[in-house]
Amino acid sequence: MAGAGAEKAAGGAVVRLDGRSLTRADVLAVARGARVELDAAQLRAVQRTADFLVEQVRRQEPLYGVSTGFGSNADRLLGAHRLRGDAEGDPSLNEELQENLITSHAVCVGEPFPEEVVRAMLVIRINTLMKGHSGVRASTLEAYAAMLNAGVVPVVPKLGSVGASGDLAPLSHLAIVLLGKGEAFYRGERLPGGEALARAGLAPIRLSYKEGLALNNGTAQMLATAVLAAGRLSKLIELAEHCAAMSLEAFAGRLRAFDEHVHALRPHPGQVASAARLRELLAGSTLADIPYHLVPRAKPWLPGSWPNAALAAFRFDIGWDWVPADQRHGRERFYERFRPFRGGKKHQPQDSYSLRCVPQVHGAVRDAIAQLERVIDIELNAVTDNPLLFPDLPGARHVEEQVVSAGHFHGMPIALAMSYVKAAIPVLAAISERRLAKLVDPATNDGLPAFLVGNEDGTDSGCMIVQYTAAAIVNDLASRAHPATVFSVPTSANAEDHVSMGANEGRHVLDMTQDLARVLALELMTAAQALDFRRDTINAARRLAREADLGTFAAKIGNAPPDPHPLRPRFLAECDALRAELASAPEFGPGPAIAALHAAFRRRVAFIDRDRALDRDVAEAVRFVEDWIAGS
């Protein structure tokens, strides 16, 4: 939902812009269709700065971007008339300077950004100009807001910004529509900018002093993509912990590694939060921390696997191996706590890193996202154009103290935060893929069927190639994680000799969130399949213990001494103890949080009983994740 600056009004949410209180939630709300309104008091401050600028021009003060050219043309002072002479109806050189800045800079290429990115750019740009330090007129901002509210969405191709002096080219594509030029989408149709304005009942505007520079000199593209990416990532890290919890349930894993007192010894904020979230998600589980000996090993189904027709409905067989007394030497204390049977769960005190180290890995990703959010929250209400105007600066004795050329357009604060997140995305995808790989591999999945399918006839591949797809995406994400920020290419005849490349970084990160979502969807699909098998094999053992006699139950246990044999009575006594423990146990299953997620997923993607065309299942799993992100 929208943040503190948003209100409800007829027709939907309205975000009030005052240059001071825009939030990430507000930007997301406007990106998805909310309207904006401009704070009346702050508009007066905006106009005060515009009037100040007019006065300085009247006094013929030389001001960058007002009475000089731009960039490497900053040493060119504008004259009173054109060298070739003015023609009737020509705009003033000041007006022409601003209009030319927009029309000459709108040179991006590639596919256009989606509507939500462009709407986010617009609200960010309007809000920063509402700070009142840029020199634009109140009427210009009102025209921008009217265009946004009318649903006129400028066509902004994706490629063309180097992230300093801000996002010049893409922001020119935003502004050029205000002039009745360029292109825009209106009600789903791509139109010339002037026609889109006309259909929306709007008229183009003429630019005044410094307005072209104010409109295209800033960080709105990289910031818009950062806000949208951060919004998705905040949902994806939450989903990743749901996926990890479901995978841990499927492994019948161990919870002590997530204890609060453990993480108090290394209190990175994200790590502490991740461990706490896992404890919440796994609360109430009867699969996690289950005693080793209760977990049977899944075996291929055979016609004689089960003693009656009701039990024969299971799509697997189960089994354990007995540990004879002469193999227990040195492990006596262990077999005082656990019964002497080896099933699916390995006798080891710790899980693999992809399970045990979820708080450390996911937590570090949480910290990267938090750093990006911190930078965004500052940037959303910052002034990012140049020069900066201070009409009411106390003690100012000269206009040079009130009109200051600085470098707030430089995108490096956002760019480096995005680089941090860019490196974190393949890390989160990679640990997800490792859990998925463990689940399908019979050497590592603690007694689940190979590739999570019964495969009694040897013809099924199950989830084998699901892991291939996840591996391919992880590799692709890793290859795209190189930070754009480390490779500056100077521009503007070397006047702009160090640039951030933050626009590329933001575009990359936003795109990469889509592939991260796909990897998590594949883990979710695999973990749900594995959880079905784990829950059902343990409950099948419980049901067998309740319904079958000791001889039938003991037939599921390998390494049994023959009858007669001196160890046979001991074997049967220990089998009976295992049977009694299973029979008296409540039904096994995941905790409520993971059970709810599993049930919701199963309403969309069915259990894989035998091989079928999985492309539709994969696509539906991805849709499930995107719906989860949108609705969570």
What pLDDT was estimated at residue 81?
56
Tokens of 129: 């100009």
What pLDDT was estimated at residue 57?
81
Question: Which residue's structure tokens are 């969405």?
Answer: 153
Residue 108 belongs to domain spanning? 6-83+90-218
Q: What is the dihedral sign for C-alpha 111, 112, 116, 117?
A: positive
Q: How many domains does the chain have?
A: 2
What pLDDT was estimated at residue 83?
52
Alpha helices in 441-501 (DSSP H): 464-479
Tokens of 464: 């084998």
- Give the count of beta carbons closer than 10 Å to the beta carbon of residue 550: 14
For the cut 50, the answer to whether the pLDDT of residue 3 exceeds it is no
H helices then E strands: how many in the chain? 22, 14
For 146, the 3-state DSSP assignment is helix
Residues 104 and 244 placed together within one structural domain of the fold:
no
Q: What is the mean pLDDT of residues 383-406?
A: 87
Contact residues for 475 (Cβ-Cβ < 8 A; gap 6+): none
Provide long-range contacts, Cβ within 8 A and 24+ apart, for 450-453: 452/526, 452/529, 452/530, 452/533, 452/608, 453/608, 453/609, 453/610, 453/611
Q: Range with the lowest mean pLDDT among 217-231, 309-323, 356-370, 576-590?
A: 309-323
What pLDDT was estimated at residue 73?
63
What pLDDT was estimated at residue 85?
58
For the cut 60, the answer to whether the pLDDT of residue 629 exceeds it is yes
Distance CA 65, CA 62 (A): 9
What pLDDT was estimated at residue 4?
43
Domain-ending residue, one of 161, 190, 218: 218
For the cut 50, the answer to whether the pLDDT of residue 483 exceeds it is yes
* Domain membership flag for residue 400: no
Residues 137 and 280 placed together within one structural domain of the fold:
no
Nearest to 165 by CA among 495, 388, 400: 495
For the cut 70, the answer to whether the pLDDT of residue 87 exceeds it is no
Residues 54 and 161 placed together within one structural domain of the fold:
yes
* Domain membership flag for residue 385: no
Residues 67 and 163 placed together within one structural domain of the fold:
yes
Distance CA 507, CA 223 (A): 10
What pLDDT was estimated at residue 9?
47
Distance CA 241, CA 237 (A): 6
What are the C-alpha distances in Å from 436 to residues 211, 215, 425, 463?
Answer: 54, 48, 17, 10
| Confidence bin at 63 (pLDDT 50/70/90) | confident
Residues 297 and 207 placed together within one structural domain of the fold:
no
Domain-ending residue, one of 164, 195, 218: 218
* Mean pLDDT, all residues of the chain: 92
Share of the chain above pLDDT 70, in %: 94
**pTM score, two decimals?**
0.93
Q: What is the mean pLDDT of residues 416-427?
A: 97
* Domain membership flag for residue 225: no
Residues 191 and 275 placed together within one structural domain of the fold:
no
CA 221 from chain centre, in angstroms, equals: 18
Residues 304 and 197 placed together within one structural domain of the fold:
no
Q: What is the DSSP letter of 95?
A: H
| Confidence bin at 2 (pLDDT 50/70/90) | very low
* Domain membership flag for residue 390: no
Residues catalogued as catalytic: 64
Residues 30 and 158 placed together within one structural domain of the fold:
yes
Helix, strand, coil distribution of the chain in percent, nearest 5: 55, 10, 40
* Domain membership flag for residue 306: yes
Contact residues for 569 (Cβ-Cβ < 8 A; gap 6+): none
Buried (b) or exposed (e) across 341-351, using 16+ Cβ within 10 A?
bbbbbeeeeeb
Q: What is the DSSP letter of 612?
A: -
For the cut 90, the answer to whether the pLDDT of residue 190 exceeds it is yes
Let me know if 553 is exposed, middle or buried by CB neighbors in 10 A (0-12, 13-18, 19+): buried
Q: Where residue 257 sits, what CATH number does that domain have?
A: 1.20.200.10
What pLDDT was estimated at residue 382?
94
Distance CA 532, CA 197 (A): 56
Tokens of 78: 């504008």
What pLDDT was estimated at residue 315?
85
* Domain membership flag for residue 366: yes
Nearest to 610 by CA among 389, 344, 301: 301
* Domain membership flag for residue 398: no
Q: Where residue 206 sits, what CATH number does that domain have?
A: 1.10.275.10
| Confidence bin at 267 (pLDDT 50/70/90) | very high
Task: Provide Rg for the chain, Cα atoms.
Answer: 32
Question: Which residue's structure tokens are 């201070």?
Answer: 390
Residues 124 and 235 placed together within one structural domain of the fold:
no
Tokens of 344: 């699916």
Distance CA 317, CA 327 (A): 26
Residues 510 and 608 placed together within one structural domain of the fold:
yes
Q: What is the mean pLDDT of residues 479-505?
A: 86
Residues 197 and 244 placed together within one structural domain of the fold:
no
What pLDDT was estimated at residue 234?
97
Distance CA 357, CA 427 (A): 12
pLDDT tens per residue across span 121-173: 999 999 999 999 999 999 999 999 999 999 999 999 999 999 888 899 999 99
* Domain membership flag for residue 223: no
Residues 421 and 524 placed together within one structural domain of the fold:
yes
Q: What is the mean pLDDT of residues 46-72?
A: 79
